[in-house]
Amino acid sequence: MSLDINKVVIKTSLASCFGSHFKEVEGANAFIDELAQDAEEISFEQGEYVFREKDAPEYVYIPESGSLMLERSTASGSRQVFAFLFTGNLAGLSESVSYSFSAKALTNCVVIRISRKLMQDIFDKYPSVAKRYHDVTGHILSLILDQLFIMGQKSAHQRLAHFLLDMEHRLGRGTHRFLLPMSRQDIADYLGMSLETASRGFSRLKKDGLIDIESNYHITVLDNEKLISYAD
């Protein structure tokens, strides 16, 4: 039940989650001290579930290394992927009686686990921290709206182009080359299309010279502008 808040990965994860100027927020230091006491680092193997849809939402999770996938499955076996989470993203922030999706480890990963009760206590003491947290929630809400917009508007191939641009931005770290942690099936379930359509999309973009595919997961965006105009 303790967290080494001086570890660089933890610092950067928290900073990216709550914003770069978080430390200037009143109560932020008290919050971080409490995290040092009560939060934990937990490791998960690829394929394990960090939490499941029906679980009581006792914790909030921040990946520190590795990737998570938020998904919901139906009785009939089909699945919707809501989001892919990387270092410094946040999962499980605003659930009430149970999580409304499951979180699965896409890779071996380490996540920071924070008790929601602890967060609530801090919020009661420091409204500024609560406000910042609410801002984060609002930001996530707007990301989901963007996703909803994309799902409603675009063709399958456009959605895929959009997805690749997002991954380039989040995984590329300034370069145009990145390693996808998820399978074609995961991507298809995220974008609401079949595995085959997703695969054809990749092939098409490669054939047209917009991207390069080295090893199925190693992608390089060759022509950013064309890809953007393709995603439109």
Partner DNA sequence: CGAGCCCTTGATGCATTTCAACGAATGTGG
Partner DNA sequence: CCACATTCGTTGAAATGCATCAAGGGCTCG
Q: What is the DSSP string of 94-119?
A: T-SSS-SSEEEESSSEEEEEEEHHHH
Q: Which parts of 160-219 interact with its own copies (CB under 8 A)?
A: 189, 191-192
Residue 148 touches its own copies, criterion: CB under 8 A: yes
Q: Which parts of 144-203 interact with DNA (CB under 7 A)?
A: 155-157, 183-185, 192-200, 202-203
What does the angle CA 114 – CA 118 – CA 97 come to, to the nearest 5 degrees? 80
Residue 192 sits at φ, ψ, to 5 deg, of 70, 45
Report how far residue 108's alpha carbon sits from residue 64's, in angstroms, rounded to the nearest whole number: 11
List 18, 22, 44, 82, residue binding its own copies (CB under 8 A) = 82
Residue type for 144, please?
Answer: I
- 81-98 burial, b at 16+ Cβ within 10 Å, e below that, comes to bbbbbbbbbbbbbebeee
Residue 155 touches its own copies, criterion: CB under 8 A: no
> With respect to its own copies, which residue has the nearer C-beta, 58 or 146?
146
List 124, 196, 208, 214, residue binding its own copies (CB under 8 A) = 124
Length of the chain: 232
Which residues are at the interface with DNA (CB under 7 A)?
Answer: 155-157, 183-185, 192-200, 202-203, 213, 215-216
Which residues are at the interface with its own copies (CB under 8 A)?
Answer: 72, 74, 76, 78, 80, 82, 93-96, 100-101, 120, 123-124, 127, 130-131, 133-135, 137-142, 144-149, 151-153, 189, 191-192, 232
